[in-house]
Amino acid sequence: MNQCLKISLSIGLTNGFLDGFVLKNARKLHLEGVAQVVSDDHIKIIVCGLKENIEHFIDTLYKGLDKYKIDNIQLESFMRARDYRGIFRVIA
């Protein structure tokens, strides 16, 4: 079953996080959506795909807590408002 989720998080170390961690893992799990820097220490991620793959993605984020100094992860259901065309994008 497909699902969409909005993930907001605070991060202390942004170097390599979006391209090297988020994008890599989203593509590996065949997810689509977008990751965007909202401010210097705040990132918003919209992710859509199979429920199991999204759960793996969330687990991966939690595994990166120490390395990237991730804090305050907030998850909420998201109604897809646009077609991501099967691609996960990073907007910096």
pLDDT tens digits, one per residue of 67-91:
888 888 999 999 887 788 889 999 8
Confidence of residue 15 (pLDDT cuts 50, 70, 90): confident
Whole-angstrom distance, CA of residue 71 vs CA of residue 9 = 6
- Domains of the chain: which residue ranges? 2-91
Number of H helices, E strands in the chain: 3, 5
Confidence of residue 43 (pLDDT cuts 50, 70, 90): very high
Whole-angstrom distance, CA of residue 53 vs CA of residue 5 = 12
Q: What is the CATH number of domain 2-91?
A: 3.30.70.100
Beta strands at 70-77 and 32-39: parallel, antiparallel or unpaired? unpaired
